[in-house]
Amino acid sequence: MKTKYLLTIVSIMIIIIFLSSCKEEAIVEQKKENNVAQSTLAKGSDVSSVQGDSTILQIKKERVKRLKKEHEKPYMVIEKPEKILADLLKSRVKNKTLSKSSKNNDSYSVQSSQSCYTLEVDVWVFEKYHSKPGFNVGIFPKTWWRSYIPTLTTLKETYGFNKILMGRNEIDNQTVYAHNQIVAGVDPLHPYWAKTSYVNFQPRDLYAFYMDEPAHSLDPAMRDSVSKLVSDLRGLGFTSSLYMAGETCEILAHKVDDLVDIINMTAYTDLDYDILFGCHRNIFSDDQRDIWTDYNNAFGSKFNHLWVSGELDRGEMDQLTGHAQNLGKNSIWLYAGEEGMSDQSYWDAIGEFNYYAFIHGYLRREERRFIYVYYYVGYDDPCYDYQITSWELGDIIDTGETRIL
C-alpha cells in the first residue's frame, strides 16, 4: 500500500515538473517575441503599443514582406540589400568585443542597435525620375487604353517623360502635357486633312509634327505631299515647331531628309533584307546600333529623336541608350504603342527604358532611403560571424529621406 502511494506521489511530482518546464519554455518564447516587438517599435514601427504581441508581430511581418516585395521589382534598387549586407559583414572590424550587458540569453534579438546582434543597412529605392535640361525623353504610349488619360500623369511625374507623341484627339482630351511638350502625329500623304485638323488649334506652340515612314509607302507623289504638309502647317503659324520624319533605312530616309528638320530610324533590327524598298542591312547585328551609326554618318545632327521599341528591344535597352549617348544624341524615345503588349509588359518596358536612360545620363533619379534591420540568428558569437546566412531581415524602416542623383 505504501509503495502504491509512493508511486502516486512520484508520478504527481513528475507531472508538476513537466508542466513547469513547459511553462518556462513558453515564457522564454514569449520573451523572444516581446524583445523583437520592443526592438522594432523602438526603431519607428507604425504600431504604437506592444499589447497583443502576436498581432503586432504579424502586422510587422506583413509590412516587411510587402515592402521587400516592392523593392525587389526590377530597377527599383541599384544595389541589392543582400549585397550591401554581405559587403558590410566583410568590412566589419575584427576582434570587436561583445560586452556582457548587450547579450540576451533568451533571444537572438537586440537590446541596443549598437550591439553585435543587429546590423542596419541603407537601401535607396526608386521614387521617381526627373527630366534634365537639354535632354528629351519621350514616349509614344498605348493610346487605345480606356485608362490612357489617367496614366499620363504617371508617365510625366513618375517616369520623367518630358515629351510625348499624340494624335489630335488625345491632345484635346488631356491637360497633363503642355503644347510645347507634345509631338503631334500627322499623315504625311494627306496634307489636306492634317491642315484641316490644326487650322483652329491654338496656340501655335506644339513642339513638333511627326510623319511616320512617308517614303516607305512608295507613293510617287510622296515628296510633294510631305512638302505641302510642312508648308501648310507653317502657313498656319506653326513656325517654331520642328518637322520630323522616320524611315526604316538610310536609302528611304534620303528621299525626305531635305524636307524636314529631324530624321530618325524606325526599324528595330538588322536581321533582315528589305529588298523591296532597297534597304540592305547588316545581317550580323541583332539590334539597330549599326544603322544608328550609318544614319549619324549620313545625316549628322539632323539624325535625332532615336526610337527604342518597348516590345522588340527588351533586354537591349542598356546597349541602345548607351550607344545613343556615345553618338551625342540628346533625344531618345520609347515606342510603347505596339499592339498586343500586355499591361504588365508595357510598364516593364517603361521601367527598363527609363532605368537605362538614367544610367546613361538622360534622366535624374529620385530615391527614398529605407533602413533594413537584420537580426542575428546564428549559433556563434555574432561579433565574429560573417556568414550572411546567420542574419535574418527583421524590419524595414521608411526614413522618409530622399535624394536626387
> For 288-340, what is each residue's pLDDT tens digit?
898 899 999 999 999 999 999 999 899 999 999 999 999 999 999 999 988 77
Task: Give the CATH number of domain 127-367; options: 3.30.9.100, 3.20.20.70, 3.60.40.10, 2.130.10.10.
Answer: 3.20.20.70
Name the pLDDT band for 94 (thresholds 50, 70, 90). Answer: low
Residue 370 phi/psi, 5° resolution? -115, 145
Whether the predicted pLDDT of 393 surpasses 90: yes
Phi, psi at residue 274, to the nearest 5°? -95, 70
What is the DSSP-derived secondary structure letter of residue 137?
E
Model confidence pLDDT, tens digit, residues 249-267: 888 999 999 999 999 999 8
Asked if residues 382 and 390 have their Cβ atoms less than 8 Å apart, the reply is yes
pLDDT in tens, 208-217: 999 999 998 8
Question: N- to C-terminal Cα distance for the chain?
Answer: 87
Domains of the chain, by residue range, sit at 2-118, 127-367
Q: Is the dihedral of CA 358, 369, 121, 56 positive or negative?
A: negative
**9-19, pLDDT tens digit by residue?**
545 555 554 44
pLDDT of residue 51: 53
Which tops the pLDDT comparison, 22 or 132?
132
The pLDDT of residue 124 = 97
Residue 123 burial (10 A CB sphere; 0-12, 13-18, 19+): buried
